[in-house]
Structure 1
Amino acid sequence: MEGSEKKRISRLMVLVSILIVILCLFGCSSKSKEISQKPTNSLESNTDTKTTSAESKIQNIKLHLNKADIYGITVSYDNNYVAYVQGDPKNYEGQLYLWEINNSISKPVEGIKNQISSLIWSPNSKYLFVDSGTSIYRGGKIVNVAENELMEEIRYIGSVNWSPDSNWIAIGLLSTIPPITPTELNGTIDMAVYNIQTKEKRIIEKATSEYDFIPRKWGNDWKIYYDKHYYNGKPMESMVYTFK
């Protein structure tokens, strides 16, 4: 009888041990599911954002954002912010987010959603230019990064190029002069600069019906490089303007 009792107790201990193992495995599985269901715009709580370097923080954020519905990931020049779009990468549509690397969560920028083609940081990292459009005639939105808000919207043609001090952008502006050869635009393109602080538009070279201009680069030497396109078949010319 005593031996039978010992066997029964032994079997009970084995069953209890098996139950403990099963409960531990279930707990680990549940914890894993909780981690995988974290929102896209939030890092794990155990990420030490205060002690890791800026490069490590940026790398962690990029790895976290490596998802099918995210595109346009770009880092500010001072390595303090990561900008990205979450939505539909195939159609370049989504919501703009800004992620300050010392925070564990990103923030959406209100008023900047839907069609977004590219993100262009200013040299001082205080502003972000959001480019959108499906043709050469573009729409642009300028974001004040520190305030996480939309400053203003402009229309322009071609690419956008920041000045070295981040106060100006070089752009093409649509003129009222029609080209001698019909295009998708109703006019030719003036070479211009725009001050994001004062909203001043300054045309540095006017187009004619026979030629117009497309900006290419604003150098650190304050020289603006742009192309002169002819409508009569003449070869394109590379132009340089020293901004004063």
Structure 2
Amino acid sequence: MMRFDGYAVLLTGAGRGIGEATARRLAAEGARVLVTDLDGPRAESAAAGIREAGFRAEALACDVADRAAVEAAVAYAVERFGRLDVLVNNAFSCHPDPPLAEDLPDDEWARDLDITLTGALRCVRAAMPHLAAADGRGAIVNIGSVNGEQDFGNHAYSAAKAGLASLTRTLAGQCAARGVRVNLIAPGTVHTPNWSGREAALSKAASLYPLGRVGLPEDIAAAVAFLASQDASWVTGVTLPVDGGILIGNVALRGVLKRAWRGGEG
């Protein structure tokens, strides 16, 4: 299915993981994609892989904490593709929590919010005039997290993702009249390169998911493709969990209660 013939797409944080998988998916469906990442060589490697597969991709280093860099990335996409139809905000920062909340450093808190939340807003501000001129195809897909919906740790990252979900709703209300849809995907645990060396933890986490596994970047990419496409032309302002069912209940607690009712020790 070629849902994105003629589309131009800019993705942030797309050098690997969810961003790279999403760039590949949209390119495979006909889009011309600009892969941006803080790590320029990583962005180029991802774009080269897409081109080797026979699809169209460009690459550019972009720090979403730098307004000038964001504006340059949007300008580059429009220059190369002649238009911009879709923005995928995937860049994020996540520092591990200290044992005590009072020990959370100000700079780590500020960095996570600046990249994850304010960085997305910088991209929206730069891209919006072009998305509004995209003949009704303009769409923004923000990559949030189940951390923005429930407690899974990481104070700053979770606050930023919750803020991104709120920003998605307020932008959707404001941008609808301009023909631009704004939605958010809230992934659960996804096996990305960020988990390298911690596969044992992923295996344990999988048992807590109702669907019995952690996610793959391609699971999220498929959801992005839906929300960015005209298949979702009457969908805006939503948070779509793509989470293996983790938000529907507490699997570990359910197991304890089940064993208790069966006469076990729990």
The TM-score, its normalising length taken from structure 1, stands at: 0.26
Higher percent of residues as strand: 1
Task: With a CA cutoff of 8 Å and minimum separation of 6, indicate the structure with the bigger relative contact order.
Answer: 2
Higher percent of residues as helix: 2
